[in-house]
Amino acid sequence: MVQTSIPTAFDARGHDHAACVNAALDHADRLCAERGLRLTPIRRRVLELVWSNHKPSKAYDLLNRIRDEHHAAAPPTVYRALDFLLDAGLVHRIESLNAFVGCDGDHGRAPPKFLICQACDHVAELAGGHVDEAIDRATDAVGFQVEGSVVELRGLCAGCAAQR
């Protein structure tokens, strides 16, 4: 089963993108208020830009877009905002792409798993407690203590596969 922050991550037909972005920002506002975190205007704008196209966003691409609005913005501005958003659980880092995607879900302690379409660049999260359980069993069997993991699966989404 595929769980995504974007219900139609691989199928944009009928997707109300503006509503999606607004829902993500509303979620961020609520989460930060509940946790006593400060969602500054620049952090909120970076989050909005990350959500702007449902594809992974690179930090320097975000910086270039921020500079269009705030000419004095420097790389640390975006990196600090991204660090905040990562810590708050509002974005994920796609390690293999060195890029970021939005997240409005609550994953608890389970690390996210990503499906990355190599044709259209969309990313979806894979819900899979069973995947985590299998990893836990395998690592427990050899006495290995996992301190972090990244699961990224590359391939073609159904829409791109059908076009080939």
Residue 68 falls within a domain, yes or no? yes
In a domain, 144, yes or no: yes
Query: Which of 16-25, 59-68, 104-113 bottoms out in mean pLDDT, i.e. has the lowest?
Result: 104-113
Domains in the chain, number: 1
Which residue, among 144, 145, 103, has the nearest Cα to 127 in the 3D structure? 103
Backbone angles phi, psi at 15, to 5 degrees: -85, 125
Torsion over CA: 19, 24, 30, 33 (sign): negative
Which CATH number does the domain housing residue 50 bear?
1.10.10.10
Q: To which residue do tokens 């830009």 refer?
A: 49
Q: Is the pLDDT of residue 21 over 80?
A: yes
The whole domain housing 143 covers: 17-163
Does 92 map to a domain? yes
Instruction: Give domain status of residue 5, yes or no.
Output: no
Q: What pLDDT, on a 0 to 100 scale, did the predictor assign at position 127?
A: 74
Q: How would residue 5 be classed by pLDDT, with cut points 50, 70 and 90?
A: very low
Q: What is the mean pLDDT of residues 73-85?
A: 94
pLDDT value at residue 78: 95
Q: Is residue 11 part of a domain?
A: no
- Closest Cα partner for 113 from 127, 98, 99? 127
CA nearest to 133, candidates 155, 114, 110, 112? 110
pLDDT band at 4 (very low <50, low <70, confident <90, very high): very low
Does pTM surpass 0.95?
Answer: no
